[in-house]
Amino acid sequence: MSASTFKLTLHIWRQKQRGARGEMKQYELDGVSGDMSFLEMLDVLNEKLITEKHPDGPVAFDHDCREGICGMCGVVVNGEAHGPQAGTTCCQLHMRTFEHGEHELWIEPWRADAFPVLKDLIVDRTAFDRIIQAGGYVSVHTGSAPDGNAIPIGKNEAELSMDAAACIGCGACVAACPNASAMLFTSAKVAQLALLPQGQPERFTRVKKMVAQMEKEGFGYCTNHKECEAVCPKEISVQFITQLNRDLLRASVRRD
């Protein structure tokens, strides 16, 4: 083996289908380059399993952009959502992170009742879609795109809204939270509209609808562990949860 490559022992969750019994399976992978991304390493493993006609077959995992934009690739690596590198999605995580340290990786899907496992490392995250559908939009007919400077917006408000809008809906916050809470995701989607003039008319009905849908989906309650902020690949702040709670309290005493 050359000095630029190393060997990995991989423990990966294998589950044939939704509701089936799953278990951790062990695989050995040699010749791993530090320049590989985490997903490229899984690609190489799958090529090996296919070539060897392994009875387990290739590992199913979600991915799309491979640029840290879509949020599809999330898995738990050695107990940490998206792995040990802060502010990084799995597709941006390079194997050099593990080259001079731990050569044994435990890879699991998100663990939450609201995110049922579909196969291996793939989970059903459509609960997030339903939360957004409950109120994460502006329901006015705007016609064609308006001029970007038509409505004056303060610099602080614009930057905070953009910070909230950076959420890619990967679900790492849910996977890391001991309560499987979706408060960071929901608060980011609420805040990106609540901070802008266009979001004001429906601000308080929006927060009530989205929180109600979040609870309906079976996510847990936030108890301020802040694990969500620690693992978020876009480093969304828990300050948005504070704002959501404030708006929800105001919404509960308003007469709409």
Output the pLDDT for position 1.
41
- The residue from 74, 108, 142 where one domain ends is 108
- The residue from 76, 108, 140 where one domain ends is 108
Q: What is the CATH number of the domain that holds 132?
A: 1.10.1060.10
pLDDT in tens, the chain (256 residues): 445 799 999 999 999 999 999 999 999 999 999 999 999 999 999 999 999 999 999 999 999 999 999 999 999 999 999 999 999 999 999 999 998 877 899 999 999 999 999 999 999 999 999 999 999 998 877 778 777 678 888 999 999 999 999 999 999 999 999 999 999 999 999 999 999 998 999 999 999 999 999 999 999 999 999 999 999 999 999 999 999 999 999 999 877 6
Sheet-wide strand order for 5-14: 23-33, 5-14, 104-108, 76-77, 80-81
* 155 and 58, same domain (yes or no): no
Residue 117 pairs with which residues in a beta bridge? 123
* 103 and 132, same domain (yes or no): no
* 133 and 230, same domain (yes or no): yes
Is 114 part of any domain?
Answer: no
Output the pLDDT for position 144.
80
Convert the pLDDT of each residue in 166-179 to its tens digit: 999 999 999 999 99
- The residue from 108, 136, 164 where one domain ends is 108
Cα separation, 249 vs 256, in Å, equals: 14
Q: What is the CATH number of the domain that holds 70?
A: 3.10.20.30
Output the pLDDT for position 4.
76
Output the pLDDT for position 140.
78
Is 116 part of any domain?
Answer: no
Is 9 part of any domain?
Answer: yes
Cα separation, 249 vs 252, in Å, equals: 5
Report the number of distinct structural domains present in the chain. Answer: 2
Using CB atoms within 10 Å of the CB of residue 125, give its burial: 0 to 12 exposed, 13 to 18 middle, 19+ buried: buried
Domain range for 27 is 5-108
* 40 and 93, same domain (yes or no): yes
What is the phi/psi pair of residue 251, to 5°?
A: -65, -30
